[in-house]
Amino acid sequence: MRTISRSGVAVTVAIVAGLVAFPFVFQANWVVNIAVFTMMYAGLATAWNLLGGYSGYISLGNAAFFGVGAYAIANLFPTSGGPPGATPFLIVPLVGLAVAILSLPIGWIAFRTRGVTFAIVTISLLFVAQTLAFLLHSFTKGSQGMGVGVPLFPVETYERPFYLALLAIFVFAVLLCWYVRRSKLGLALFAIRDDEDRALGLGVDTEVAKLLTFAMSLGITAMIGGVWAYYITYIYPQFAVDPLVTIGMVLMVYLGGRGTLWGPLLGALLLVPAQQLLAQNATTARWYLILYSGVFLLVILLLPRGIIPSVQDLASRLRAGRHRGTSPPEAAVPPVQTEAVP
């Protein structure tokens, strides 16, 4: 357990305050629109990081639960129900809780496997969810799509409530990550990441740790999906459950730094506006998938630990160089083991 550092709190407050103030300072609708998508991915990436960064279990199925949250909101607030106002934002946490609980049996089955088999199972989950989204007409209306009620927010600041809602979810996710890191759950997850069998041998309840984290991660993902459905006003299976959403959030975490607190936000801040910029230009738009793939490969091969840890390493080395003889300060998070274990 480490003590709360003053500078850590100060930075956190500064970032959150900045994010809250953003739409009030930069009020142009199109800017807040991009901010909405950025915050959406920041939340998704942070939620993914909870399981993927701390425990090392790579889940590639998160987009499935994003879709569940989206369809839940669409069912609760259909177009025919009239303008829903702020109610969906209040209901979304309940949706998240419900999904977290529902994910437990799924997690139980999935965690019967380890490592890469687990990843494959979660990929299958994703495709099954997409197929179910097409099939379960009573819940999703299949490929017809579902319309969501449109609120009567004032047009000049229409996007702002959505941004603030997603910001709230993001902050919640970050606080959760911060709390978990410092708790026994976090220790269990790190132990699992380093060597699961040894953790088991030491008496760590790995099953509960993994399931709890899985549920929290997916509950948050579903909440974000719900707000997204409300924002876009019309959802259908190909995009409510979209493999590229999973790839996007994973890429952002790897880019920013797996297992770090602010890495996912960094990844989102870099990639979402970049993506928008690419789409505006007709030439680059055609290369969209290729560029995405290229960035991903570069990150994994050249900067496998992500930006924040790499920058931290650099800073440590510089400091070690200046203070000869003093050992470099410990990184806040045990680094991801990338050296070959003998």
Partner 1 sequence: MRLFVQAVILGLLAGGVYALMASGLTLAFGIMRVINVAQGVMIILGAYLSYTLFTRFSIDPFLSVLIVVPVVFVLGVVIELIFIRPLRPSDRESLSLLVTWAVALGIEGVLGLVYSTTYRSTIPSYANGSWRIGGFVILQVQVYAFAFSVVILTLLGLVLAKTRFGRAVRGTVQNPASAALLGVDERRVAAIGFGLSVATAAAAGAVYGVVTPFNPGSHYDLISLLLTIIVLGGMGSLPGTVVAAMLMGVSQALLATYISPTSAKLTFFILLIAILVVRPQGLFGAVERGKL
Partner 2 sequence: MAHGRGGLLVTVLAAGFLAACSSSSGASSSSSVSGSASTEPIVIGISLSQTGDFSDPGKAAERGYQLWADTVNANGGILGRQVQLKIADDASDPNQAVTNYENFITKDHVDLVFGPFSTLLSVPSAQIANRNHFAFVEPAGGGPDMFAAKLPNVFFVQPAPVLACGDPFVNWVLSLPADQRPKTAAYVSLDDPFASPIADAMQAKFEAAGIQTVYRTIYPPETTNFTPIVSAAAAKNPDMWVGGTQSDDAYGQVKSMISLNFNPKFLYLSNGASSPVEFPSKVGANNVNGIFSCGDWFPNSNASGNQDFINAYTTKYGGDAFGIDSTSAEAYAVGQLIQAVAAKTGSIDNQTIIDTLHTGTWPTVEGNLSWDQYGMPQGSDMLVEWIDQKLLPVYPPDVAQQAPVYPKPNWGG
Interface residues toward partner 2, by CB under 8 A: 5, 7-8, 10-12, 14-15, 18-19, 22, 25-26, 28-31, 33-34, 37, 79-80, 131, 134-135, 142-145, 147, 150, 155, 158-159, 232-234, 236, 238-239, 257, 260-263, 265-266, 269-270, 273, 276, 279-280, 282, 285-286, 288, 307-308, 311-312, 315, 329-333
Q: Which does 183 bind (CB under 5 to 8 A by kind): partner 2, partner 1, none?
A: none
- The CB-of-118 to partner 1 minimum distance in angstroms stands at 9
**Residue 241 tokens, joined:** 């459950």
Binders of partner 1 in range 41-100 (CB under 8 A) = 56, 58, 60
The residues, ordered by sequence, that sit 6+ positions from 108 with a Cβ below 8 Å of its Cβ are 211
Residue type, 192: I
Say which amino acid occupies 220.
Answer: I
Which residue stretch of 15-23, 242-250, 266-274, 311-319 sits at the interface with partner 1 (rule: CB under 8 A)? 242-250
Rounded Cα distance, 11 and 156, in Å: 31
CB closer to partner 1 out of 281 and 293: 293
Closer by beta carbon to partner 1, 142 or else 328: 142
Which of these ranges, 104-112, 167-175, 183-191, 308-316, lies near partner 1 under the rule CB under 8 A?
104-112
Select from partner 2, partner 1, none the partner in contact with residue 324, using the beta carbon and a kind-dependent cut-off of 5 to 8 Å: none
For residue 213 the two structure tokens come to 């984290």
For partner 2, the closer of residues 93 and 147 by Cβ is 147
- Residue 77 and residue 95 in contact, taking contact as beta carbons nearer than 8 Å: no
Partner touching 150 among partner 1, partner 2, none, CB below 5 to 8 Å by kind: partner 2
Q: Does 320 bind partner 1 (CB under 8 A)?
A: no
Q: What does the chain come to in residues?
A: 342
Residues 3-42, mask of contacts with partner 1 (x by CB under 8 A): ----------------------------------------
Nearest C-alpha neighbor of 163 from the set 220, 227, 108, 218:
227
Q: How far apart are CA 148 and CA 163, in angstroms?
A: 18
Residue entry with tokens 């995405």: 292
Site mask for partner 1 (CB under 8 A), range 130-159, x = bound? -xx-xx------------------------
Q: Which of 13, 294, 318, 329 binds partner 1 (CB under 8 A)?
A: 294
Q: Return d(Cα 135, Cα 29) in angstroms, integer.
A: 36
According to DSSP, the β-strands at 146-147 and 234-235 are antiparallel
CB 40 within 8 A of CB 170: no
- Secondary structure of residue 146 in the 3-state scheme: strand
Q: Is the dihedral of CA 266, 268, 269, 270 positive or negative?
A: positive
Q: What share of the chain is helix, strand, coil (3-state, %, to 5)?
A: 75, 0, 25
- Taking CB within 5 to 8 Å according to partner kind, which of partner 2, partner 1, none is near residue 144? partner 2
Q: Does 338 bind partner 1 (CB under 8 A)?
A: yes
Please enumerate in sequence order all residues whose Cβ is within 8 A of that of 72, keeping only pairs 6 or more positions apart, or say none. 95, 98, 99, 222, 226
Residues that bind partner 1 (CB under 8 A): 56, 58, 60, 109-110, 112-113, 115-117, 119-121, 123-125, 127-128, 131-132, 134-135, 243, 247, 250, 254, 286-294, 296-297, 300-301, 304, 337-341
